[in-house]
Amino acid sequence: MSRHGDFKTIEASRPDFKAPEKPFTYTKTPNPEWTPGSGASNDEWKQYKTVSINPHGEGRVPGDNYKLMISGIVPRPIGFISTIGENGERNLAPMSYTQIVNHDPPIITVGFSGGTGLKDSTKHLLASKECTVNIISDWFIEAANYCSINAPTNISEWSLSGLTPVPSHVVAAPRVAESAFSIECKLVTHHNWTSPTTGKQTGTMCILEGVYFHVREDAINEARNIIDISKLRPVSRLGGVTYSVVERGWELPRPDFAKEVEQYEHVRKVKEEAERKEKEAEVVKN
């Protein structure tokens, strides 16, 4: 019995999964008539007070912060990390502390948490200084999740899950054939984290450079610079053991300040106020 109860019984009571019946859908934004200075699109937030929490306050344990952050910082991409150990053992594990942080060069960060010693993926990555990061899609989410199992080091998640390893071009670690988007990576550097309360190591952040991309042919455009999200169907991590797929969205172009000044009085006033304060500061300075 898991901490989530008899999960299979709970799951059986839910509706069947349905893959998107049509391509990714674009909708209007929540408030298409929004103008600069308008703030939030509704006032619901005013009905509530804020609870302020010291992450290291008395009686608070690290697990509390873990639950809080993974349920609040959502959705998160999942890095499906493939590594090879010093003795040739292959490891495959999903990591939801994954994010892109730069594009030239392509840089990805992956956080490996755990207070009971380094995970196999971490050990392999630090030793070999390379891995592949594979994006998880809904058609293999069960297999990917199974790779989070606490199997002994000598047991390969590839064999347990039935997923297919494909040789990479630059690194030794194979990529996942089922993944529509994979990145071969080299380790740039890493940083170990220690608990402010116990002083013990609690995790490792690895900074990776992408050295080779692999995209399924039907998911990439002719210019080879945009992936079709309706073909990628990425799975995001939410709180607890909850996951989600992206089926719809909206577009919001980034505003250009010079054009906004010309179009909106509110932006002009903000600009004029900032310039006034700068002039006053110059007078005081001189």
Give the model confidence (pLDDT) of 50-70 as tens digits.
999 999 999 998 889 989 998
Residue 65: which residues within 8 A CB-CB, separation 6 or more?
55
Mean pLDDT within 84-100: 94
| pLDDT at residue number 5 | 67
Residue 219: which residues within 8 A CB-CB, separation 6 or more?
180, 181, 227, 228, 231, 232
Question: pTM of the prediction?
Answer: 0.87
Class at the top of the CATH hierarchy for domain 62-249: mainly beta
pLDDT: is 11 or 275 the higher one? 275
Paired tokens of 186: 């080299």
Q: Are 173 and 93 in contact (CB under 8 A)?
A: no
User: Nearest CA to 126 among 220, 49, 216, 203?
Assistant: 203
What is the Rg, in whole angstroms, of the alpha carbon atoms belonging to the chain? Answer: 23
3 state SS of 3: coil
Model confidence at 118, in pLDDT bands (50, 70, 90)?
confident
pLDDT at 81 over 50: yes
Give the model confidence (pLDDT) of 139-182 as tens digits.
999 999 999 999 888 899 999 999 999 999 999 999 999 999 99
Residue 82 DSSP code: E
Give residue limits of the domains in the chain.
62-249, 253-285
Distance CA 204, CA 187 (A): 13
